[in-house]
Amino acid sequence: MEINLFPYFCSQLQTKVKKQKIFRLRKQRICNKNPEHLLKKFNMKIQIINGPNLNLLGKREPEKYGNITFESFLDSLRKQFPEIKIEYYQSNIEGEIINRIHQSGFDSNGIILNAGGYTHTSVAITDAISAVTSPVIEVHITNILVREEFRHASLIGRACRGNISGFGLDSYRLAVEALIEINKATIK
């Protein structure tokens, strides 16, 4: 007498496939509902780099730049995004900015760069951005397109992933959110 086990094995296989599909769907629903838990596992790190004269925020032309220092703004930004390690660096020297881009451009999940006046003049910073693997978001506190004509063109912009300007210090928050979205897309 011959026993045909084929139908039994087929039903077992179908059950296993169904369970795998259900598990995948549950996992997908959890990830889509709460992508922040992915970022916690991911240990996201963002480097903010500010260029020349941005150390004077809060004192310099408050009608354009506001009267809050970057350090106090940075405290509130870190409180808004406690799951992200936000590092900060400021320099008035082009070579030091390039060194920091090189230093953080391979091990951070993104760079937020306000190159100040170097935005319009620095081929070297543009080349540094092109050389690193981390996405770089160009940020400006004021809208550079409504300022002096020489500020309308950004040399570094062609090497950056995106540009945010004209929203005051909130431009930095928008850049953090953009980098979260960019990184979510890479870890799915």
Q: Are 174 and 164 in contact (CB under 8 A)?
A: yes
Cα–Cα distance between 157 and 139 in angstroms, integer? 10
- Which one is catalytic: 37, 89, 140, 152? 140
What's the pLDDT tens digit per position in 86-109? Answer: 999 999 999 999 999 999 999 999
* Active-site residue flag, 65: yes
Q: Tens of pLDDT along 41-89? A: 458 999 999 999 999 988 877 777 778 899 999 999 999 999 999 999 9
> For residue 107, which phi and psi values (nearest 5 degrees)?
-125, 5
The residue among 132, 111, 125, 131 whose CA lies nearest residue 178 is 111
pTM of the model: 0.76
- In the chain, the domains with their CATH numbers are 1-33 (no CATH), 37-187 (3.40.50.9100)
Asked whether the predicted pLDDT for residue 149 surpasses 50, the reply is: yes
Q: Is it the case that residue 166 has pLDDT exceeding 50?
A: yes
Q: List CB contacts of 64: < 8 A, sequence separation 6 or more.
A: 141, 142
pLDDT at 40: 54
Q: Which of 37, 65, 89, 102 is catalytic?
A: 65
d(CA 66, CA 57): 7
Is 140 annotated in the active site? yes
Task: Calculate the average pLDDT of the chain.
Answer: 84
Q: In what order do the strands lie in the sheet with 85-90?
A: 85-90, 45-50, 110-114, 136-140, 162-165
